[in-house]
Structure 1
Amino acid sequence: MAEESRPRQIVLVRHGATDWSEAGRHTGWTDIPLNNDGLRQAATLARRLAPHTFELVLCSPLQRAVSTCRIAGYRDVAELDADLREWSYGDYEGMTTAQIRERDRHWNLWDEGVLNGETLAEVAARADAVIARVRAVEGDVALFAHGHLLRVLAVRWIAQHAPLARHFNLSTASISTLAWEHDWPSITLWNDVSHLRGQG
């Protein structure tokens, strides 16, 4: 099989903590800044990512991702990509799962979706667009983005249906990597937060 143009690996970086992420509030397109914890987390990412050389760095335009990218040392080379924005949660924006279940006690995001926001299929289509873009790159790629979007992107990378993403937890300021096992896409690292150990 002829070798196709493709990235060696894709490094997924979830943004640092915000007040809403720490409270479990669904944070889609609301432009929430990093809190003090998130700023400290982003600084640890700078040290963790320092050994890498990226041919392409893409970043969500939302400020929590942009700030993480900047503090990690990549904002000057990063391109903003609107397809990396988090899921738009519509009427559930800013609400916790417990609050949503006061309305619908059986609700879960992956099966029920949201009211007046994006469908999971629309989120998956954005993830697929990012994958198509990065698959044309030779070398390593970094993506600075958000929890649910990156989870969907990872399962789409391995050609699985988007609802499988419910099983892939992703912490703030985590590092994950997507790469290859012979000719098929694989997940080679997931939700690594070892760089945060010992952080105050």
Structure 2
Amino acid sequence: MNVCLIRHGETAWSLTGQHTGVTDLALTAHGEDQARALAPRLQALAFSQVLVSPRLRAQQTCSLAGSYGGSVIELDLAEWDYGDYEGRLTMDIRRDNPGWDIWRDGCPGGESPSVVSARADRLIARLCRMQGTVALFSHGQFSAALAARWIGLDLVEGQHFALNPASLSQLGIDATHGDRRMIELWNQN
């Protein structure tokens, strides 16, 4: 079993660095081009299932990267809910809350790290029951959280797994050690 993890293409807020969780932004024209550029690489893979975040930007990326008509909306693939910090820049948040770190502190009115970790673990449990290659169209911080939890790290370690828009990563299981999950490819554009 392999997991192909695809971050959505550029949006206006990913370009500016604003935290974008529940705000349903469309891709920019450049983001659409980025999504289309994924198509040749993804067409070479035979997906047994395609799961997509409920957010428009992930759905657009999925469609432009290959028009996967059998894709399924997966609520657990949604980006971190930033609550009161939605649409804000980290530097602006830290003016009001010095030392704030989403990986440690979460977001007031949004999700805590423990909630995001539980969501990632729930999704991993379902993924591990699937066969073949599964495509996941998701977001930057949730995908980093998922990768950290995939290899058994605490959620806070997700801070070390940056993802560019329209990037491709692969999570897998060691063929000789079936209980060892691995990151096989990370942040390829």
TM-score by length of structure 1 reads 0.90
Does 2:183 correspond to 1:190? Answer: no
Q: Distance in 1 between matches of 2:67 and 2:154?
A: 31
State the 1:111 CA deviation.
1.7
**Structure 1 contact 61–80 (Cα < 8 Å) conserved:** yes
Match of 2:98 in 1: 105
Match of 2:63 in 1: 70
State the 1:17 CA deviation.
0.3
- 5+ residue gaps, structure 1, are 1-6, 194-200
**Structure 1 contact 101–107 (Cα < 8 Å) conserved:** yes
1:61 is aligned with what amino acid?
A: P
Match of 1:51 in 2: 44
Match of 2:29 in 1: 36
Instruction: Count residues with an aligned counterpart.
Output: 186
Match of 2:139 in 1: 146
Post-superposition CA distance 1:25-71 (Å, at most 9, x none): 00001101101111000000111211000111100010000000001
2:167 is aligned with what amino acid?
A: S
Q: Distance in 2 between matches of 1:145 and 1:64?
A: 9
Match of 2:17 in 1: 24
2:119 is aligned with what amino acid?
A: R
Report the identity percentage: 44
Q: Trace 1:114-133 onto structure 2 (pairs within 5 A).
A: 114-133=107-126
Match of 2:165 in 1: 172
State the 1:112 CA deviation.
2.1
2:79 is aligned with what amino acid?
A: E
Q: Distance in 1 between matches of 2:49 and 2:117?
A: 21
1:37 is aligned with what amino acid?
A: H
1:155 is aligned with what amino acid?
A: A
Match of 1:162 in 2: 155
TM-score by length of structure 2 reads 0.96
- 5+ residue gaps, structure 2, are none
**Structure 2 contact 105–112 (Cα < 8 Å) conserved:** no
Q: Distance in 2 between matches of 1:137 and 1:112?
A: 33
Q: Distance in 2 between matches of 1:67 and 1:147?
A: 15
Q: Distance in 2 between matches of 1:130 and 1:73?
A: 23
Match of 1:94 in 2: 87
162-171 vs 74-83, which deviates more? 74-83
State the 1:105 CA deviation.
2.4
Q: Distance in 1 between matches of 2:98 and 2:149?
A: 29
State the 1:75 CA deviation.
3.2
1:69 is aligned with what amino acid?
A: C
